[in-house]
Structure 1
Amino acid sequence: MSTGPGSEPPPEGRPPAPGRIRVVAPRSHAQHIRASTSVSQEVAEQTAVGEVMVRSLIRSQLRLALVVSAGFMASLFICWMLIRWVPTFMDWRIFGVPAPWLMLGVGVYPIIGASAWLYVRAATRNENQYRDLVDGQ
């Protein structure tokens, strides 16, 4: 007594209900395959998602470079304004050397060092955030 193609006998020997077929998934014990890929795979395989992630990192690093450069240029502009528009500053002498010379010859280097330190610190933070996002942490 068959109820249709691919049907199984009813459990416990009961006859099947008329017109009904029991359907069983053929791969109930198969391994589960992850449908989604990780972000690191997306980046490695250069998919659209990976390209967006890399472009985002590059954009954040560019934004950081522009901000630090603008800050450095603003500090140099302030030094120039001090030399240009404060006439008494032109008359100052430190160990016989005019103060504007010392400011431009020596005083700019701490500004350069501070700008570089801030840039490296912020760039490292951007890269760590990107790495955490890619690694899924």
Structure 2
Amino acid sequence: MSRHSGPPGQPDQPQPAGRDAPQSTPLRKNRRRRVVLADPRGRGRVLRTIIELEEQTSVGEKLIRDLIRQQLRTGLALGGGTLLFLALLPVVFYAVPALSEVQLLGVRLPWLLLGLLPFPLCYGVGYVYRRFAERHEQDFVNSVDR
């Protein structure tokens, strides 16, 4: 009976030569290669920071609190500025009555500015805030990975 490596019913396949089989080719010494998948330097600090974030130590809480504070400051600046601008429009129209008489396309300026302007303005401010928030979060991740 012959030895084969396949399942029953399939033809025999050649077996690799054993250690005691004579080799016809001269022996080549295989050189060891070192494979480096990541730079080990600086990795301990990153892991320590991640552990501090996960375990909610005082350092991790301070990092998170700083990120939240930075995003809150950005939101208050953008949202507060937009709200202030929209709240001052009626005051401007009251203080300068000539502006309230201006017409564009047959519609008075206060109706256009107070009725149509807030929607694209709020959309634009939301878009800008999202970009700032993503930038703050990316800066946070970069500072943790450093």
Give the alignment's TM-score, normalised by structure 1.
Answer: 0.66
1:104 aligned onto 2:114 = yes
Post-superposition CA distance 1:34-63 (Å, at most 9, x none): 986521111012111111111111111111
1:126 aligned onto 2:110 = no
Matched to 1:84, the amino acid is Y
| Structure-1 separation of matches of 2:112 and 2:97 | 16
Of the three residues 47, 54, 63, the one matched with 1:44 is: 54
| Structure-1 separation of matches of 2:105 and 2:61 | 57
| Structure-2 separation of matches of 1:44 and 1:104 | 47
CA RMSD, 1 decimal:
2.0
Give the alignment's TM-score, normalised by structure 2.
Answer: 0.63
1:67 aligned onto 2:77 = yes
Q: For residue 123 of structure 1, give the secondary structure of its aligned residue in structure 2.
A: helix
Once the 2 structures are TM-superposed, how far is the Cα of residue 69 of structure 1 from its aligned partner?
A: 1.6
1:83 aligned onto 2:93 = yes
1:114 aligned onto 2:92 = no
Following superposition, which runs of at least 4 residues in structure 1 exceed 3 angstroms of deviation? 34-37
| Structure-2 separation of matches of 1:123 and 1:77 | 25
Once the 2 structures are TM-superposed, how far is the Cα of residue 124 of structure 1 from its aligned partner?
A: 0.9
| Structure-1 separation of matches of 2:134 and 2:97 | 42
| Structure-2 separation of matches of 1:50 and 1:81 | 46
Where in structure 1 are there 5+ consecutive unaligned residues?
A: 1-33
Bigger shift: 117-126 or 93-102? 93-102
Matched to 1:100, the amino acid is P
Post-superposition CA distance 1:54-88 (Å, at most 9, x none): 11111111111111121112211332233111111
How many residues in Structure 1 have an aligned counterpart in Structure 2? 103
Of the three residues 67, 88, 92, the one matched with 1:57 is: 67
| Structure-2 separation of matches of 1:54 and 1:96 | 53
Where in structure 2 are there 5+ consecutive unaligned residues?
A: 1-42
